[in-house]
Structure 1
């Protein structure tokens, strides 16, 4: 009887060979993926600093220029071409002193035309007022004549009344006398009332005319005063700066041609990064180094308008009578908070790549990447809020070549 021999399945054979190979490949892939990337660097290429507890002082440092405490801009009031220049930039000037003269023939002609028109209107109003005065005078003359007629009628009435009582005057004559007296009396009353009303109306018109004339005279005064604006004068005493008009050059009304600095003190003016806008306030104190002496300053004004990423801060000197010169520049150290002891680490370029979220911590000949949390900062220190402890040594130099590295091997 034949014996049945089972044939081995080649597929099972291949499967048994593939499984170990696949597991071995998976191990190498896993090891490659999970292995921390490292890089070897020399210690001379990096900067290592120590985390420590120290007094943290929240402050900023910025440059500020010395400027006069008070200044006034010189603006052209009446536009025109520069005809004469009487002073030079940097001169000390007195209030009202002529600085330059401008001229504009069109504006000058316009002034003459307006002045003629105003004078003509004033004359017309004066004539109207004179006519009203003459009218009152004429009415006064009429009233005198009417009063004279009334007195004659009254005298005749008194006489005829006596004669009629003595039966010397006829009844017909007496009645005529009575009628004439009545007429003259009523006439006088009516004329008096009419004249009184005319006088009241005239007085109102005269008052209105006088008011109009006053306005005209004021306009004429302003017009003549404006003609003087071709002459640019100093509005106050001080030093003339930024004053560079050019003979023959035309300037429009409102153009700035210089500035007058009042020499009664100085202030500091600085442009500060907008990052500190919410942290800089009036009355904050700071210091500057003046000839080796630390001078106190205080913030007096914060102008919050942001221009090119910066805002303006003005500071005054706490000390009086400092001998300063306009244009000098000082480094201002402005205190943002009181001193307090906390965990700090020196600042470095590492934050340019890490944004302060991680850092390399040195342990022997290696440095390992670690997540951290930083708080406030000043030009010297970062405040450490988490991820580090006192005594840790960290690399604070730039990480531009280490962004994908987790371990640094130090040589």
Structure 2
């Protein structure tokens, strides 16, 4: 009889092998993930510089243009077509000198209509004032006649009184004389009172008419002055610039057809990158080079409105202005933001466009490793190092566009 031999259970062995395989794969994956990403590069293609202690001066360089210190726009008050040009662009003009003449038939007709209407109103007021004076004159004439009648009655009364006292004049005639004098006396008093009140009322009315006439006179004068606005005059003395009006061209009221530059000095204006908006302040000094000589300048005005990533500043000369300055000339300005200090610095390079100043490759023998850093201020030549680097360390400052996801470079 055969003996039955039990089979060995290999299920546990398979499970153990499976776990070992899984752990191996996980470990390998973790190693692949956590190990530094390395890239081999040609060292000759890299730009390597040293970290160093150096005199750091925070400044910015930009281009500035020469402009007159003061200018005044030539504005159009009354719009119209350019009928005449008396000067050309660049001419020297004096205040009040004719520059151009405009013509607008519609506005001219409106002026004539308004002028006629004002003159008619003034004539009507003058007629009213004359009528009032004539009324006063008539009342004065009437008062003279009444006064004459009163005086005659008074003479008659005085004479009849004597006759009546001597018993020559009858009583009824004396009573008639008394009544006549009483009537003339009351009549004179009434007319005098009426004339007084009429004169008071007329005085108020005449004053109102005179005020209205004065207002109309001013309106008429202003209207006639406005008619002169078709003749464009130089607002100040100086050089006419940006004057590009053409014969027959229609110019709208309120627009400018040029400017007059007052020839009493120059200033510099510049458009500066918005990055420096919080760093530039009025009173900061700078310098330009004119014909080989350094000239000191100072920021006098900042216009904080940002357009196309830039804002405008104005600078003036601290000392005597250089000779030979002309509008439109351009100079490189070095504007000092802070004084010289000994700082740890690295040279500027294209690496910053990829790393944004947050990391850099530090050379170590035949390789370079990525390191977190912090940069501070900058000037056209250097970045100030806040942390992450030491003096004399070698760094790569060339372009990092191909190394954004690389942790280590091998040469």
TM-score range, shorter chain: over 0.9
Mapped to 2, the partners of 1:212 and 1:112 lie a distance apart of 20
Residue 257 of structure 2 corresponds to: 257
Is the counterpart of residue 227 in structure 1 residue 227 in structure 2?
yes
Q: Which shifted more, 82-91 or 324-333?
A: 82-91
Q: Identify if the C-alpha distance between structure 1 residues 206 and 364 changes in structure 2 by more than 3 Å, giving closer, same or farther.
A: same
Q: Report 1:84-163 matches (<5 A).
A: 84-163=84-163
Residue 346 of structure 1 corresponds to: 347
Q: Which shifted more, 93-102 or 164-173?
A: 164-173
Mapped to 2, the partners of 1:170 and 1:52 lie a distance apart of 145
Residue 70 of structure 2 corresponds to: 70
Mapped to 2, the partners of 1:162 and 1:118 lie a distance apart of 66
Mapped to 2, the partners of 1:274 and 1:166 lie a distance apart of 121
Which sections of structure 2, spanning at least 5 residues, go unmatched? none
Mapped to 2, the partners of 1:125 and 1:47 lie a distance apart of 94
Q: Identify if the C-alpha distance between structure 1 residues 159 and 344 changes in structure 2 by more than 3 Å, giving closer, same or farther.
A: farther
Mapped to 1, the partners of 2:344 and 2:159 lie a distance apart of 127
Q: Identify if the C-alpha distance between structure 1 residues 275 and 165 changes in structure 2 by more than 3 Å, giving closer, same or farther.
A: farther
Mapped to 2, the partners of 1:343 and 1:161 lie a distance apart of 132
Q: Report 1:208-357 matches (<5 A).
A: 208-323=208-323, 324-357=325-358
Give how far 1:237 is off: 1.4
Mapped to 2, the partners of 1:129 and 1:322 lie a distance apart of 69
Mapped to 1, the partners of 2:154 and 2:44 lie a distance apart of 135
Instruction: Compute the TM-score of the two structures, normalised by the length of structure 2.
Output: 0.92
Mapped to 2, the partners of 1:149 and 1:307 lie a distance apart of 93
Q: Identify if the C-alpha distance between structure 1 residues 146 and 338 changes in structure 2 by more than 3 Å, giving closer, same or farther.
A: farther
Residue 195 of structure 1 corresponds to: 195
Give how far 1:185 is off: 2.5
SS at match of 1:401: helix
Give how far 1:336 is off: 2.4
Give how far 1:110 is off: 2.2
Give how far 1:375 is off: 2.0
Mapped to 2, the partners of 1:395 and 1:109 lie a distance apart of 78
Give how far 1:165 is off: 4.1
Give how far 1:264 is off: 0.8
Q: Identify if the C-alpha distance between structure 1 residues 23 and 131 changes in structure 2 by more than 3 Å, giving closer, same or farther.
A: same
Give how far 1:2 is off: 6.9
Give how far 1:254 is off: 2.2
- Structure 1 outlier segments of 4+, above 6 Å: none
Give how far 1:16 is off: 4.2
Give how far 1:239 is off: 1.0
Mapped to 1, the partners of 2:93 and 2:229 lie a distance apart of 18
Which sections of structure 1, spanning at least 5 residues, go unmatched? none
- Once the two structures are superposed, residues 23-74 of structure 1 have per-residue CA deviations (whole angstroms, 9 ceiling, x without a partner) of 4433332322221011122233222222233333222222110001111122
Tell me the matched-pair count.
410
Q: Identify if the C-alpha distance between structure 1 residues 12 and 133 changes in structure 2 by more than 3 Å, giving closer, same or farther.
A: same
SS at match of 2:82: strand
Is the counterpart of residue 382 in structure 1 residue 388 in structure 2?
no
Residue 359 of structure 1 corresponds to: 360
Give how far 1:337 is off: 3.0
- Once the two structures are superposed, residues 178-218 of structure 1 have per-residue CA deviations (whole angstroms, 9 ceiling, x without a partner) of 33333322322222222112112111111111121122222
Mapped to 1, the partners of 2:173 and 2:378 lie a distance apart of 123
Mapped to 2, the partners of 1:337 and 1:113 lie a distance apart of 67
Mapped to 1, the partners of 2:301 and 2:28 lie a distance apart of 66
Mapped to 2, the partners of 1:279 and 1:133 lie a distance apart of 78
SS at match of 2:357: coil
Q: Identify if the C-alpha distance between structure 1 residues 188 and 57 changes in structure 2 by more than 3 Å, giving closer, same or farther.
A: farther
Mapped to 2, the partners of 1:174 and 1:339 lie a distance apart of 125
2:89·2:241 contact (CA, 8 Å) conserved in 1? Answer: yes
Mapped to 2, the partners of 1:137 and 1:38 lie a distance apart of 119
Give how far 1:152 is off: 2.6
Mapped to 2, the partners of 1:26 and 1:3 lie a distance apart of 46
SS at match of 1:298: strand
Give how far 1:167 is off: 4.2
SS at match of 2:399: coil
2:290·2:322 contact (CA, 8 Å) conserved in 1? Answer: no
Q: Which shifted more, 332-341 or 13-22?
A: 13-22
Give how far 1:168 is off: 4.1
